[in-house]
């Protein structure tokens, strides 16, 4: 086998292993937290009514991914990527029927064009930061195109 073929195969193997490591790291972030959904929900509710400002990460104003990042960091010590697309890419995907309180719900044209994220709070509702500020609304509101959901933390058993 020629040297450049061996090098190419080695690089492909290293890339594959490093990507698998990234997926494992993301999964361990979700499973290693001992956070409480109650704490996340409480902080999210405390921010209802705050204004929407593109690029804002709190605490006085938020954009959608700034809001989810802020809530998870402050209430659960979970660091999320900065943008809605990056949060979607990093999370462990779950189907709508398997949503749990605290999961993130994503909207856009498709999986490669995510433009909005909200925090699922149960019964088809989410808290999100959008042009009307931080509000509670339906995940299936007609102005959003639901694309998917992601699980980012395992919570202690509690049912707010």
pLDDT of 138 above 50: yes
pLDDT tens per residue, range 3-50: 444 444 443 343 333 333 334 334 334 434 456 899 999 999 999 999
DSSP string for residues in 22-78: HHHHHHHHHHH---BHHHHHHHHHHTTTPPB-TT-BSSS-B-HHHHHHHHHHHHH--
Catalytic residue among 32, 63, 103, 128, which?
Answer: 128
Which CATH superfamily includes the segment(s) 36-151? endopeptidase domain like (from Nostoc punctiforme) (3.90.1720.10)
- Going through the chain in order, the beta strands assigned E by DSSP cover 92-94, 104-108, 114-122, 125-130, 133-138, 146-151
pLDDT tens per residue, range 89-114: 999 999 999 999 999 999 999 999 99
pLDDT over 90, % of the chain = 72
Is 128 one of the catalytic residues? yes
Nearest to 68 by CA among 89, 49, 47: 47
pLDDT tens per residue, range 61-84: 999 999 999 999 999 999 999 999
* pTM, two decimal places: 0.77
The structural domains of the chain, with segments of one domain joined by +, span: 36-151
pLDDT of residue 154: 85
Strands 125-130 and 133-138: antiparallel
Number of neighbouring beta carbons within 10 Å of residue 81: 15
Catalytic residue among 63, 103, 116, 151, which?
Answer: 116
Strand partners, 106: 117, 148
Catalytic residue among 64, 103, 151, 156, which?
Answer: 64
Q: Are 121 and 82 in contact (CB under 8 A)?
A: no
118: confidence class by pLDDT, cuts 50, 70, 90: very high
pLDDT of residue 2: 53
Q: Are 140 and 154 in contact (CB under 8 A)?
A: no
Is 116 one of the catalytic residues? yes
Is 4 one of the catalytic residues? no
pLDDT of residue 14: 38
pLDDT over 70, % of the chain = 75
Q: Are 29 and 73 in contact (CB under 8 A)?
A: no
Mean local confidence (pLDDT), 56-61 = 97
């Amino acid at each position: 086998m020629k040297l450049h073929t061996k090098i190419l195969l080695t690089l492909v193997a290293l890339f594959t292993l490093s990507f698998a490591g990234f997926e494992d790291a993301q999964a361990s972030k979700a499973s290693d937290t001992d956070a409480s959904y109650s704490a996340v929900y409480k902080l999210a509710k405390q921010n209802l009514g705050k204004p929407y400002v593109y690029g804002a990460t709190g605490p006085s104003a938020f954009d959608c991914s700034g809001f989810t990042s802020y809530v998870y960091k402050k209430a659960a010590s979970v660091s999320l990527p900065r943008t809605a697309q990056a949060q979607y890419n990093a999370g462990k995907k779950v189907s709508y029927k398997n949503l749990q309180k605290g999961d993130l719900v994503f909207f856009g044209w498709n999986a490669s064009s995510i433009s909005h994220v909200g925090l699922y709070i149960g019964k088809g509702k989410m808290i999100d930061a959008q042009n009307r500020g931080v509000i509670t609304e339906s995940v299936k509101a007609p102005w959003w195109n639901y694309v998917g959901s992601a699980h980012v933390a395992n919570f202690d058993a509690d049912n707010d």
